Amino acid sequence: NNVDYYVIGNGSNLLVSDNGYDGVIIELLDDYAGIELVDPADIRIQCEDKDEYTFVKALAGTRMLKVGKFMVDQSLTGFECLGGIPGTIGGAIVMNAGAYGGTISDVLLYARVITKENGILELTPEELELGYRTSNIEKNGYIVSSVVLKMKKGNPEEIKALIADLTERRKSKQPLEYPSAGSTFKRPEGYFAGKLVDDAGLRGYRVGNVMVSEKHCGFVVNVGGGTCEEAKAVITHVREEVEKKFGVILEMEVRKLGWS
């Protein structure tokens, strides 16, 4: 019908215009979720040391938290740093999500995608051009439908202990008490975005009901009834001040929908 559309998972990294989005939102979430072990004999993509891995298939709408729990139940290691990300496995592939030194590309064997021509491709991390918070998925108009992850058996107690440590670190350092779209800015090469914002004197900078978090300056948070316009004003001011004081251009990690 020649109608614009946008595919989302949990929407956890989106900043949407106050005017909404003029098109169809295709939400791949709980109605398009599922996770299971895969027989190695069914893996057609080349994988070195295949016998060392356990393969896990997840549909694109599966929440990262559920994938993480599945890995714990199966005593599989390598996903501990990713399980606390509040998104879906499909969204994680689109932006090569990561935390605490690991990214989804570290454990991805391939993703199955639907092309604009209604074809189906199974693409490796290299073919998806997975880099720091980036891929070629949106550029090529792909829709992620499922993924296959390559995992290794681990010690159940060590896996649980690492997850508990990372969960505590998230709670203590990130402003989880307020709504946000996650880390607002990508990490500039050689710097930390949050430290640049803090060093620019912008901790707590506020427009209306949106502000730079006082707990972690890498987050722009909604303290109650905030709008997209207020968030845009905060983000614009932060980027201008950081560039003026340090000559560093902060690139947004948060995705924009319905505005530019």
Active site residues per annotation: 133, 183, 253
Candidates 11, 29, 31, 42; CA nearest to 148 is 42
Bridge pairing between strands 108-114 and 143-153? antiparallel
Q: Is 251 exposed, middle or buried (0-12, 13-18, 19+ CB in 10 A)?
A: middle
Helices assigned H by DSSP within the chain: 64-73, 89-94, 137-140, 156-173, 193-199, 228-246
138 vs 141, 210, 227, 253, 257, CA distance in Å? 5, 28, 26, 14, 13
- Compute the distance between CA of residue 248 and CA of residue 251 in angstroms, rounded to an integer: 9
- Compute the distance between CA of residue 199 and CA of residue 201 in angstroms, rounded to an integer: 5
